[in-house]
Amino acid sequence: MHFNLRWLLTQLILKSILKLAMATTNITDVNFEEQVIKNKLPVLVDFWATWCGPCLMAAPILEELSEAYKDKVLIMKLDVDANPATSSKYGVMSIPTTVLFKDGKEIGRHTGFAGKQGFEELMMKGGD
């Protein structure tokens, strides 16, 4: 039985993206301040793009962490291509970049694919 590996990989990536979209909140330049800066909970913002392979690799990990930490740290996604103002304001030059905000201020940042442990370590900075 022959199957198309590219098709299979595409399907897995799409499933990861769709699953992530359900567990996280997509934010924009317009609602960034309301959703992130004014939020009472710490917020981990995933600056990403649809064409970024490492961003897509992070998708299932961020979904899992979003569920595990839902009452402690929120995970939100910002597409850098669709929202250049916020990306520029926070100096995002490479993706993926994850930035942790607490009480309206940046308290941690990681550029590149962090893996589950790296994302968790960043999220723990938001704890009291």
Q: Which of 20, 44, 45, 55 is catalytic?
A: 55
Residue 62 annotated in active site:
no
Q: Where does residue 100 rank: exposed (0-12), middle (13-18), buried (19+ CB within 10 A)?
A: buried
Q: Which of 20, 27, 44, 52 is catalytic?
A: 52
CA–CA–CA angle 79, 70, 58 (5° rounding): 40
Residue 52 annotated in active site:
yes
Nearest to 123 by CA among 61, 80, 79, 78: 61
Alpha-carbon span 22 to 104, nearest angstrom: 24
Half-sphere exposure of 66 (CA within 13 A, CB side): 21
Note whether 79 and 52 are within 8 A (CB): no
Active site residues: 52, 55
